[in-house]
Amino acid sequence: MKKKKATRRDITTKDEMNLAEYPIQLLTKDVPKENKTIEWHGEVTLKDGKKKEASWVVTGSDKYGLPRYFDRDVILAIMYYWYRQGFKSPELVIKNVKELLRFMKWNTSERGYQQLRDSLNRLVHTGITAIYSFWNNKIKDYIPYISFNLFQSAEITYSPERKNRYMLRIVASDVFWESIKSNYIKSLNATFYFNLKNPTAKALYTFLDKKAYQNEEFSMEIYNLASKLGLSTRQPKFKLKQTLKEASEILLNKGFLSYYEFKDIPETRDELIVFYFNKEYLSEEEIELREKHEEYVKLIVSDILQVVGDTKSKAFYEKVARSIPQEIIYRALSEVKAASLDGEIKTTKAKLFTYLVKKYAKELFNLKI
């Protein structure tokens, strides 16, 4: 199958990267009344190399409940209008609600307006509590604790220009706005996203698109991936695999993925899903971002060489810089420095660094180098 390449006609929105990493909505049509939270629990590595247990908990209100699978559409559409207006203010005014509904490919009848009102009710009243999972782009690290909402308020009123037209005024919370203004946002192909019909494929696309910036491929244990997307982890393994397979097939057929596969994890009953990204599916903006990332790669390689001094393995260090999260790299470098000062290195700095970076990549992210 010939893979589709992104074109200039594709519309770009922006995605806040904490929301790209963690679940914000349930990917089920029917939500039990007793289900009041969406939770992710895991482990992160801070920039000083310390490992911390982390959690991300989304809590809906008793009245309006948790965000649903189509509420992510609203967030990304709002981000598009903010982006188009240059992110000038935490207060955003969208002058034509019908245009907003069309942008999301929603019904523009009263049903669509009611769906938007319901969605805004959920988003305004939903709270997020993050323990060592919210990335603060100013300090370049996870913060110990934060509890916040995405939006302070939302208001739909008549447009002063035309009385039969509705406008939306929405105000971001201080936390959400600070993250946006610190540039912890990434580009997302809105045309591609809103043409997807499958809710899981949409969630998988926004999650994987963040990973595709630095990697040729990405893998994750399937239940961990499910919790990141907002899928139920209580369902049987075969059912979860089928849901992920259907979503992956869509992204494969649409050209975002070049291949995917399930792999057993040796000595456990766990299973990985491995995604291979189609690098031809790039917009001009994404190409520019990747070029900037190559400059970032050079800086990391320089830091590695300053510590280990092994120029013969430069190609390997470039691979590490492109495919391994920076917190792992700098944790390994920190431990190499400490071992060197204590006279505890039995081989070489280069060999110790290679051992540590492979070890942590496997333990924390199931990544192989």
Q: What average pLDDT does this structure show over 191-219? A: 91
Residue 2: per-residue pLDDT: 42
**% of the chain at pLDDT higher than 70:** 90
Number of CB atoms found within 10 A of residue 81's CB: 18
Average pLDDT on 77-81 reads 96
Measured in degrees and rounded to the nearest 5, phi and psi for residue 283 equal: -85, 170
pLDDT one-digit tens code per residue, 241-273: 999 999 999 999 998 999 999 998 877 778 999
Most confidently modeled range among 4-13, 162-171, 177-186, 318-327: 177-186
pLDDT given at position 107: 93
> CB 301: neighbour CB atoms within 10 A?
20
The structural domains of the chain, with segments of one domain joined by +, span: 12-187, 284-365
- In this prediction, residue 199 carries a pLDDT of 95
Reply yes or no on whether the pLDDT at 224 is more than 60: yes
Q: Which amino acid is at 319?
A: K
Cα(104)–Cα(102) distance, integer angstroms: 5
For 339-357, b where at least 16 C-beta lie within 10 A, e where not — what string? beeeeeeeeebbebbbebb
Average pLDDT, the chain: 87
Distance, CA of 366 to chain centre: 17
The answer to whether 136 and 17 are in contact (CB under 8 A) is: no
Say which residue, 280 or 178, is predicted with more confidence: 178
Per-residue pLDDT at 41 exceeds 60: yes
pLDDT tens digits, residue range 88-119? Answer: 999 999 999 999 999 999 999 999 999 999 99
The confidence score (pLDDT) of residue 291 equals 60
CA distance 59 to 24: 9
Give dist(CA 260, CA 253) in Å, integer: 11
What's residue 365's pLDDT? 61
pTM above the 0.85 mark? no
pLDDT band at 147 (very low <50, low <70, confident <90, very high): very high
Q: Are 215 and 290 in contact (CB under 8 A)?
A: no
- Calculate mean pLDDT across residues 226-238: 90
Distances (CA, A) of 229 to 4, 100, 223, 289: 25, 25, 10, 25
Handedness of CA 82, 180, 20, 300 (dihedral sign): positive
17-21, 52-56, 132-136, 235-239: lowest mean pLDDT where? 235-239
Query: Kind and range of the H or E element at 329?
Result: helix 326-341
Q: What is the mean pLDDT of residues 208-231?
A: 89
Neighbouring-strand partners of residue 49: none
